[in-house]
Chain A
Amino acid sequence: MIQVRNLVKTFGTFSAVNDVSFDVAEGEIFAFLGPNGAGKTTTIKMLTTLLKPSSGQIQLDGLDPQTHQNQARQRFGIVFQDPSLDGDLTAWENMEIHGVLYHVPHKQRHQRSEELLKLFELWDRRKEQVKKFSGGMKRRLEIARGFLHTPKILFLDEPTLGLDPQSRNQLWTHVKRVNESERVTVFLTTHYMDEADRVAHRIGVIDHGKLVATGTPKEIKEQTGTETLEDAFLKLTGSSIRDESANSADQMRQFAKMWSGGRR
């Protein structure tokens, strides 16, 4: 379903992604792991048409996202690292906008919105403005929205960041359920190794822009001779701390948080 060959992305002299190749099969849950600044988000951005690769090939369901941008976009759903909902609109309206933007026919849109909101336990709150939702509810709504246009692939970029264990647990249960019932391929990144171990069928570990290991969680643990995925991860990527410099978007988010007094 996803095919990546010799993918490279350089910013000036810095290679964020350096000669990465991997495949994700249809219906698979693939976890892409790596320390901060390893190239995870850059890879997701290239897969989702937001960044142009410096070189290498990508195929999503047989389509090159660069040359067939809109067809490729129709085929995947994405949940970003940070929220992308309109807080002034209700949950239902956020679903509606998404459905219209992804050309889902009227009847199907309503039917599917209802199904998904019920599945993600948001149906009772559908008429409430999203800014009144908790972090976990917002995340669930975003994932429900990502499934609305029946994508073949769902990208989840650190979807559980900042959620409590209950919400995380519940969120993965839902994702797994839709993965099984609709055969959606899921490509996710996370910093929680236990989640990856539990949810993912296969794992890829990236560090300094290079893919250092791929395989099932079991295989990776065996390769490194470790007990847990966390130990395997530390063995593969070392234990030094990576500092990512804050970009302007992060700074602005900080500013917004101060400004709105944590309302959002």
Chain B
Amino acid sequence: MSAIYILWLRELKRYTRSRAQIVASLGQPMLYLLVLGFGLNPVFKRAGYGSYFQFIAPGVIGMSVLFSSVFSGLGLLWDRQFGFLKETLVAPVPRIQIMIGRTLGGCTVAVIQGLLVLAICLVSGFRPTTFLSIPVAIGFMVLIALLFAAVGVIFGSSLQDMQGFQLIMNFLVLPIYFLSGAMFPLTNQGKVLAFVTALDPLSYGIDGMRSVLLASSAFRPAFGPTLDLAVLAIVGSILLMVGAYRFSKIEI
């Protein structure tokens, strides 16, 4: 247990020490939120979907949780490069504990990041239907973070060097974000897009957050919170198991 704790703590310390990076990582969500959110607001309203700013806020929170959890998993590449991975892998500790510690750490960091963006949303005018829904939304953030930290671990264990990083960014992380309905409603879409977006786990995370945060507003959920919860929990568990397996196979 103490091994899990110390590795969790390490992820947190590394996060809080990179202040410049924290500020930088808030830039992109703010652009989406403030520029797109206010820019597309009039068009969206005229189409009868209500406020676009309200609509996109949970999507932007989901985006920052996605990015920071995948990157935390890919931090494995970084640790492999600078050697710290070896130090943990030759320790007399079962690998699964090392994987759990790292993943929980990455997940915690991703949720903190999500909370920072939530705070920015609230400051710039986002209003959930009731503030009591925020803890439930945080629950969804945790599920998103766990699921995508596992994705990060799977790719981080399989790749040998940083060259693969761009590939993952462009062909995995960005498509997951764009196809998740973070920026557009998933209802009333064409068959192809509806099918592809239903395959994207992030769609369920963002749909879940919207369902609770924007209940009884103009927003109509695509899947509903129960299905969202079930999909995230099941897919997340499977990916975590795959991640643990891949991690156990790392050779130094």
Q: CB distance B91 to A101 under 8 Å?
A: yes
Map CB proximity to B onto A93-130 as digits: 1 under 8 Å, 0 otherwise. Answer: 10011101111000000000000000000000000010
* Chain B residues, CB < 8 A from A101: 3, 6, 87-88, 91-93
Stretch in B10-18, B113-121, B124-132, B209-217 with 4+ CB within 8 Å of A? B10-18
Q: CB < 8 Å: which of B79, B80, B86, B162 contacts A255?
A: B162
Count A-B contacts at CB 8 Å.
86
Q: CB distance B6 to A97 under 8 Å?
A: yes
A97 to B160, CA, bound (A): 25
Q: Is the interface of B mostly helix, strand, loop or mixed?
A: helix
Q: CB distance B14 to A50 under 8 Å?
A: no
User: Known: A83-B83, A84-B86, A96-B6. Contact between A248 and B91, CB under 8 A?
Assistant: no
A71 to B86, CA, bound (A): 18
* Chain B residues, CB < 8 A from A93: 10, 13
Q: CB distance B6 to A87 under 8 Å?
A: no
Q: CB distance A264 to B93 under 8 Å?
A: no
Q: CB distance B81 to A253 under 8 Å?
A: yes
A98 to B5, CA, bound (A): 13
CB distance from A42 to the nearest CB of B (A): 12
Interface residues on chain A, size class:
35 or more
Q: CB distance A74 to B14 under 8 Å?
A: no
A86 to B84, CA, bound (A): 6
Chain B residue at smallest Cβ distance from A86: B84
* Chain A residues, CB < 8 A from B7: 97
Which residues in window 1-36 of B have CB below 8 A to A? Answer: 2-3, 5-7, 10, 13-14, 17-18
The verdict on B171 contacting chain A, using a C-beta distance below 8 Å, is: no
Q: CB distance A256 to B82 under 8 Å?
A: yes
The verdict on B123 contacting chain A, using a C-beta distance below 8 Å, is: no
Q: CB distance A49 to B10 under 8 Å?
A: no
A248 to B7, CA, bound (A): 26
Map CB proximity to B onto A245-264 as digits: 1 under 8 Å, 0 otherwise. Answer: 00011011101100100001
The verdict on A185 contacting chain B, using a C-beta distance below 8 Å, is: no
CB distance from B193 to the nearest CB of A (A): 38
B residues at A contact (CB < 8 Å): 2-3, 5-7, 10, 13-14, 17-18, 79-88, 90-94, 160-162, 251-252
Q: List 15 A-B contacts (CB under 8 A).
A: A80-B83, A80-B86, A85-B84, A86-B82, A86-B87, A88-B14, A89-B10, A89-B13, A93-B10, A97-B6, A97-B7, A98-B91, A100-B3, A252-B80, A252-B81
Contacts A73-B90, A73-B92, A252-B161 known; list 11 others, CB within 8 Å. A83-B82, A83-B83, A84-B85, A86-B79, A100-B2, A101-B91, A102-B91, A103-B2, A103-B92, A252-B80, A255-B161
